[in-house]
Amino acid sequence: MPDAVDSRVAVYIDFDNIVISRYDQVHGRSQFMRDRARGFSSAGSEANPEIAEKLSRATVDVGAIIDFASSFGTLVLTRAYADWSAPFNADYRGQLVNRAVDLVQLFPAAAYAKNGADIRLAVDTVEDMFRLPDLTHVIIVAGDSDYIPLAQRCKRLGRYVVGIGVAGSTSRSLAAACDEFASYDALPGIKPIPPAPEKEKSETAAATRPSRSKKTPTDAVVSEPEPEKEVLSPTALVFSGPELPPAPPRRRASRRAASPDPVIEDEPEDEPDPQEVATGLLERALRLGHEKDDADWLHSSNVKTQMKRMDPSFSEKALGFRSFSDFVKSRETVAEIDETSTAHLVRLAPSLSDN
């Protein structure tokens, strides 16, 4: 990471993205849309205490995001983009104003309330880079792949790009486009997700359980009562004819496209095991270091820097390790640490060096 001395940082927050992603992470995918939480405010907690409790458990700590951003240098501007007339966004206004965040109002341009934060945020970021030539860092708080061109353009213009997103709702391509990427869950001060009540767990399981779209012959016999005998009217006798086959059951139209709430753009990918990904990343970084420096031992700081270059989302703390040395020690089949030196030297395991 570049030196924070005299660094000037701009923070851009796609607020709907981060808040809805956090809600779905805590309560289940697309649960924000099912609960219709967009129109809920704290003033209605007595009318619907269940939604109030769920929103409270999924509250985003904006202060933790801003504190993390300030570690890169002086914050020269911080903007949050959302429709602040929406009740669930309005509840955050006090928290944001207390941290001197500029609230950018976005009015829905369509009936389904599609958020235009991505376009507005990108336009403002590019404009600020030309208007403020001393800007050194750009921090994008979002997880959509729509921001990949913005991250690439910021890097091309000489800025250090940091991304922050919610785990499970972040595009891996966006993380790769940044110089550094941090998960919201791994930020200092963020508490682990609180366990869900048993009632909520059962409701979430029932909502996600696949429904049976077709009836079997047995189901038809059991579910449909025997029709009562009716006396046909003369009109019915006139139009009577051969019995027609029953009409096929209608399929329920999907309401997903007409959802009133913004949905995270990227579908969940089949994520590999992060521990295995980190192990492969360490091995590649060590091989590159040995080929580049032609040395038997490498400084662990250089190895970690190379790993961050290859995958900006890498974080040993997010993997459960207190330090990078502890992470390397846990990969004894891949890496070897020089215990006799205080310089934190590391090398590829001898069993792999000949491969």
Please tell me the predicted confidence (pLDDT) of residue 86.
84
The per-residue pLDDT for range 129-154, each reduced to its tens digit, is 999 999 999 999 999 899 999 999 99
Yes or no: domain 274-353 corresponds to CATH 3.30.1540.20: no
68-91 average pLDDT score: 90
What pLDDT, on a 0 to 100 scale, did the predictor assign at position 116?
Answer: 73
CA distance 3 to 60: 29
**Range 8-186 classified under CATH 3.40.50.1010:** yes
The residues near 289 (Cβ < 8 Å, ≥ 6 apart) are 295, 298, 302, 303, 306
Cα distance between residue 77 and residue 75, in whole Å: 6
Least confident of 64-73, 134-143, 166-175, 245-254: 245-254
Write down the pLDDT at residue 109. Answer: 61
Is pLDDT of 24 > 60?
yes
Angle of the 117-131 helix axis to the 148-156 helix axis, nearest 10? 10
248 — alpha (psi -120 to 50), left (phi > 0) or beta?
beta
Q: What is the pTM of this model?
A: 0.69
Pick the residue with more confidence: 233 or 71?
Answer: 71
SS3 content of the chain, % helix, strand, coil (to 5): 45, 10, 45
Q: What pLDDT score does 351 carry?
A: 86
- Kind of pairing between the strands at 298-299 and 335-337: unpaired
Give the model's confidence band at 324: pLDDT under 50 very low, under 70 low, under 90 confident, else very high: very high
Q: Where are the domains of the chain?
A: 8-186, 274-353
All residues at 6 or more sequence positions from 21 whose CB lies less than 8 Å from its CB, including other chains: 143, 165, 166, 168, 169, 170, 264
